[in-house]
Chain A
Amino acid sequence: MTDPSDTSLGDTPPEGTHDQDYNFAYLDEQTKRMIRRALLKGLAIPGYQVPFASREMPMPYGWGTGGVQVTSACLVPDDCIKVIDQGADDTTNAVSIRKFFERTAGVRTTEKTGEASLIQTRHRIPETPLEEGQILVYQVPIPEPLRFLEPRETETRKMHALEEYGLMHVKLYEDISSHGHISTAYAYPVSVEERYVMDPSPIPKFDNPKMHQCPAVQLFGAGREQRIYALPPYTDVVSLDFEDHPFTRLRNDGVCGLCGADDTYLDEVIMDDEGTRMFVCSDTDYCATRIEEAAE
């Protein structure tokens, strides 16, 4: 059962800019093929969770191992990547993942959304609209939108097979009757092409509408849970709601204290012991770009 095509050892790419102790983009070729096959099936069945034999990565589960594996399987030497965590390029884990790909794939990196060919994200979709040809890779902790209603994989898999999503609607409606609102503020479930209910990863529901008919390819990797799913460009992605309680975006209705934006998702910063608050854009690139443009 040897694998003649596994040439992960001693394989020299033309550029030679990545750390030669590792295969290009870290993963061995057989693992990349397995992930690539899963990605293609994911794109062919938008919103369906494809099981894949996730590997142990040199960073812990929960730190983005699924996203890292998907990125690794997609990268080409010409890519320019951007990594964000909570919308920011300079959070420690975003820095750590960006360094990992600089080292193992030798790719260029950027903080500019518009310059990136591939963006790996945890918990946000950039404010700058994505374009055709771009790839957005989401890190996903719990890919199963029904998991909190039904802990058993054997059951949830059946529910997806039978398109049996009544339980989800009941849960959302119970929220409305007890709180007056759907009490899901992030990881808000969506329906893909009127077939699969999908977890958009823990993005704030403010970001949900950006997924609908998005020109970029959206890929989702859940390492610990061994699932990959995908949205091709221009796919219908609709947040679940009710006629009498339509979906609404949610943000603090403040203004960014740095760039003045009044339509972005905001981080709340506590300034002093008195509890003084300031709100700033969660998307650091978007905010910095606006400040630069205002200065010009």
Chain B
Amino acid sequence: MYVAVKGGEKAIDNAHRWLGEMRRGDRRVPQLETAQISEQMTLAVSRVMAEGSLYDAELAALAIKQARGDLIEAIFLIRAYRTTLPRFGYTSPIETARMRCRRRVSATFKDVPGGQILGPTFDYTHRLLDFKLLAESEDEQAEEAIPQDSADVPHVLGLLDRDGLIQKEHRTDEEPVDITREPLEMPASRAARLQVLARGDEGFILGLGYSTQRGYARNHAFVGELRIGLVDVEMEIPELGFAISLGVIEVTECETVNQFIGSKTEPPQFTRGYGLVLGQQERKSIAVALVDRALRWKELGEDFLGAAAQDEEFVLYHADNIQATGFVEHIKLPHYVDFQSELELVRMIRKDAEAAREKADD
């Protein structure tokens, strides 16, 4: 005899307990401390802060611990928390020209004012497993290289800008949209696009950026400058009449120099792509700059080549991994009702078809 399934509540409670046990793993191994994650898994923390769009390393570490290392799940935890936070106001734009750079490289000029800083990069490591890390060994301490005071470190692209060699970015004091407070509208402003890209899924943006290099809306990019470092976050307090510093955040900024445009009447000029991401997110910031540039085809008078990276709706509606993972995974939820209706429809159409065939056979 069939009995309708009951007990969903109990199943959920048990599943949650089991999940907790799996997260903890073997109890003979010491429990991970969130400080260990925030200090020693900094790039994972950066990614969770960037795509969670909340700059808080401690909470990002907690989310990573709770999510058993599943970074998309950790990003989701941060997003769900972030959305409940009250807004006190909006800060002034950060000044990346006053960044205390931990790393700064230009692929377009051998030397630049302010100098190139290689910084803590994997770039020239040999990708050989370091078995010493299996044991508890301490690495040598490096010399402190990051400048303590903010000083003007002019952007490399500013040099091209001064000579009119690169397309001007028009400075505006227009209030940018906040994509977490307003529904995304198409066509989207560049500010909205850059926000979506900044918190978009690293893998998705990386794939799209890569596709532009392989010929899908190729735009010949050079990294004009990539810088990683600390910037001050300030807020104007109208009652005080001046800005106060709220703290310091780490960001990664990439500016690309791209294929030039021009015509018989207009002298040729290079174009730009831009990527700014929270934390140390080098790969992501470069990919964002490539996709940003590809999305600017209309503004720069280029043709739409049908490439995915040029397609604003395609890119912006599919970049968010929390939206994507939800909808992709939701098809595992019960769909008995809609499936049943299709089943009945297919049965009905088949019956009609068989009847028609039998009739034809007669």
**A interface residues, Cβ below 8 angstroms from B:** 1-3, 6, 8-9, 22, 26, 28, 30-31, 51-58, 60-63, 65, 85-88, 90-96, 99, 123-124, 141, 151-154, 179-181, 183, 185-187, 202-206, 224, 226, 250-252, 257-258, 265-269, 271, 278, 280, 282, 284, 287
Closest to A151 in B: B313
Determine if A95 and B8 form an interchain contact, defined as CB atoms under 8 angstroms apart: yes
Determine if B89 and A2 form an interchain contact, defined as CB atoms under 8 angstroms apart: yes
A53 and B181 contact, Cβ closer than 8 Å, known pairs A86-B334, A123-B338, A224-B326: yes
Determine if A8 and B327 form an interchain contact, defined as CB atoms under 8 angstroms apart: no
**B interface residues, Cβ below 8 angstroms from A:** 2, 4-9, 11-12, 76, 79-80, 82-84, 86-90, 180-187, 313, 317, 322-323, 325-331, 333-338, 340-345, 348-349, 352-353
Determine if A250 and B338 form an interchain contact, defined as CB atoms under 8 angstroms apart: no
| CB contact between A268 and one of B329, B330, B340 (< 8 Å): that residue | B340
Interface of chain A, helix or strand or loop or mixed?
loop
Determine if A28 and B84 form an interchain contact, defined as CB atoms under 8 angstroms apart: yes
| CB contact between B341 and one of A152, A206, A287 (< 8 Å): that residue | A206
Determine if B337 and A268 form an interchain contact, defined as CB atoms under 8 angstroms apart: no
Determine if B313 and A152 form an interchain contact, defined as CB atoms under 8 angstroms apart: yes
Q: How far in angstroms is the closest Cβ of chain B from A96?
A: 6
A62 and B348 contact, Cβ closer than 8 Å, known pairs A28-B84, A56-B82: no
> A40 to B272, alpha carbons, bound, how many Å?
43
A141 and B337 contact, Cβ closer than 8 Å, known pairs A1-B90, A90-B7: no
Determine if A1 and B87 form an interchain contact, defined as CB atoms under 8 angstroms apart: yes
4 closest A-B pairs by CB: A62-B330, A61-B326, A185-B341, A51-B183
Determine if B76 and A60 form an interchain contact, defined as CB atoms under 8 angstroms apart: yes
> A202 to B181, alpha carbons, bound, how many Å?
28
Determine if A180 and B340 form an interchain contact, defined as CB atoms under 8 angstroms apart: no
A153 and B344 contact, Cβ closer than 8 Å, known pairs A56-B82, A224-B323: no
Q: Could you give 12 example pairs across A and B, Cβ below 8 Å?
A: A28-B84, A56-B83, A60-B322, A61-B322, A85-B334, A92-B12, A94-B8, A95-B8, A151-B313, A183-B345, A185-B341, A224-B323
A6 and B86 contact, Cβ closer than 8 Å, known pairs A61-B323, A91-B8: yes
A8 and B333 contact, Cβ closer than 8 Å, known pairs A202-B338, A250-B345, A266-B340: no
> A96 to B333, alpha carbons, bound, how many Å?
13
Determine if A265 and B337 form an interchain contact, defined as CB atoms under 8 angstroms apart: yes
